[in-house]
Structure 1
Amino acid sequence: MAGAVSALFLLDIKGRVLVWRDFRGDVTAVQAERFFTKLLDKEGDAEAYSPVVYDDAGVTYMFIQHNNIFLLTASRQNCNAASILLFLHRVVDVFKHYFEELEEESLRDNFVVVYELLDEMMDFGYPQYTEAKILSEFIKTDAYKMEVSQRPPMAVTNAVSWRSEGIRYKKNEVFLDVVESVNILVNSNGQIVRSDVVGALKMRTYLSGMPECKLGLNDKVLLEAQGRATKGKAIDLDDIKFHQCVRLARFENDRTISFIPPDGSFDLMTYRLNTQVKPLIWVEAQVEKHSRSRIELMIKARSQFKERRCCVRNKNWLACVTLVPFESHVFFPLHLQHSNKC
């Protein structure tokens, strides 16, 4: 006799369990999470669309996808894969007979009928009745049927709403800029009290079609999860915010930023770093009031660049502007004395 199915799961497109039925008591709902993690790991590989997935813990997963629903079976026995996959397709046909359309909404609205059907279609892990006409003779529970309206234009229902179809360029180009600003709070003694870095990954994309881009980070969380050292090169990101094009489930799994980018310029990601940083230019200001109408101001600006970051002075020079707050009635004459020293 062929092996029996331990449990049957109905998952949404993000891997969350909508309905599950335990037939033999040897698996738990955690199996669905482990399956979806493995499915994400194989995303983009040739085996990504294989309907049979083998788990290291001795559980065999078999699944099909209909619309935005995954139908998944988990078993600890040697099952006939062809018969189980055929059974899952029959389950789809039965649900469509009762609900018109198999969608997440129809499952939530008819979960009582779903459990009744699953109990009749499978007994202790073995397929039984799969004919909708036979099942309708003894399952008389009224089911809520979804109204199937005329399909709206693709521009409205496109899953990638941030990118239009049919984009073409003679030359595919991607530009990625990392823009960071340093916020430092210094006390009256010149000691740094608090510092953080606010950064953004700004992209400009000129790509044809619907390209999928992947970006990896040497995130501290990922390095520690892999058992690798995190001395020096690791970063600990806080307050991460992504553009809506990023697949969050993939990022939570392996810290890979996978996305279909919008056309043109956009902020892919913003973040904050809680770390002790040394300002590139340290400014010290001394103010001395000589009379009611004269103030002497001395500002010292000292660069703290590393030697390898120094630049050669040329036409493309950089300007450093120091803003010193004063009262509103204070103004400066046009002639200012200043000296530069490198």
Structure 2
Amino acid sequence: MSASAVYVLDLKGKVLICRNYRGDVDMSEVEHFMPILMEKEEEGTLSPILAHGGVRFMWIKHNNLYLVATSKKNACVSLVFSFLYKVVQVFSEYFKELEEESIRDNFVIIYELLDELMDFGYPQTTDSKILQEYITQEGHKLETGAPRPPATVTNAVSWRSEGIKYRKNEVFLDVIESVNLLVSANGNVLRSEIVGSIKMRVFLSGMPELRLGLNDKVLFDNTGRGKSKSVELEDVKFHQCVRLSRFENDRTISFIPPDGEFELMSYRLNTHVKPLIWIESVIEKHSHSRIEYMIKAKSQFKRRSTANNVEIHIPVPNDADSPKFKTTVGSVKWVPENSEIVWSIKSFPGGKEYLMRAHFGLPSVEAEDKEGKPPISVKFEILPAPNTVKHLTGTTDDKPSGLEFICRSFCGPESCECCCQGSRFCNLGLTEERLEIY
């Protein structure tokens, strides 16, 4: 069982648009959603599933909107939440920015999309590329007789249209990895993980079949190869075009790709990561009248690499004022609404060390709060040099003329002394990659 109805609400809980799919839940039940949400939020017990009587509210928040699905039966919660996030993705591709104003400006199109996205409470056509073939932002002419869906909806390969032709066949593949790292005050790594995704831009004619091989740990264990260069991928999620049976058999990612840009897969790596930017801080308070910070940032990666757009967020007391800054590189900005200072460094080469000093006045005298001090966080990007494909074959006359690899890594916001692992092509094996066109 899935959703009975889907609502889009503003921040005050007012219904902007809704669609009743099953008729077994009173549409006025949504009026209880916002009071329950505010009550649970005040109690600190807020959860993604709220209840009123026999009705369950499953909700997500996006910008200044709430997307809410209701159900009276025993619904598959994971399916409902996946559908709500898919609705956000489809609306965003149609309207670029999904917010209250874009909802008000596109009522007609949204109703059409809701009718196609779900039927009688069950997800139906959720691929935005297919939806864009017959739901456009232009006016629709009235047609007599039952409209016929495009052939791609009922095809075995519903995500790709037939008859696509390009003068020049090209495939672009981006590997984007973000590193989340939490380090204690004494320098011990408490938690580290790598969250990655492989995104592709495909401009190929016809119905090409691609095969992508990774040096996954399971593959090497099965083939008896060494484990020194293998990694264990966890929480792997594939695009619907991937043949899962083929992947289970020989760990080869075989697929007929959609046309244009899409995310082929996402994954997570539980691995130990060495901090690439090390932060040391010295904080001195003087008679509760002023406070001084000395922050040292040191890059611990190779000199040939460079970290770009480095931001070091340093928390300061809520009542701090009269800031004074001095730094050897970059700029420092005080953000009083967030009670922090942000040290920005546009380019941070490997093997370098920089220093920043900050001075604040403390007008109010209060007891020192030893609990609840937020950590220092670091965000940055490292762009490695592009790699090439060693093996590229094809049986058709038009083979891709070039492939471009871009890898970007950046930190999450939850780090104390946070690092970014740079190029991880050695982990994914993209320097020995196979991408074959048929």
The two structures have a TM-score, normalised by structure 2, of: 0.39
Q: Which of these two proteins has the greater Rg computed from alpha carbons?
A: 1
- More strand per residue: 2
User: What TM-score does the superposition give when structure 1 sets the normalisation length?
Assistant: 0.50
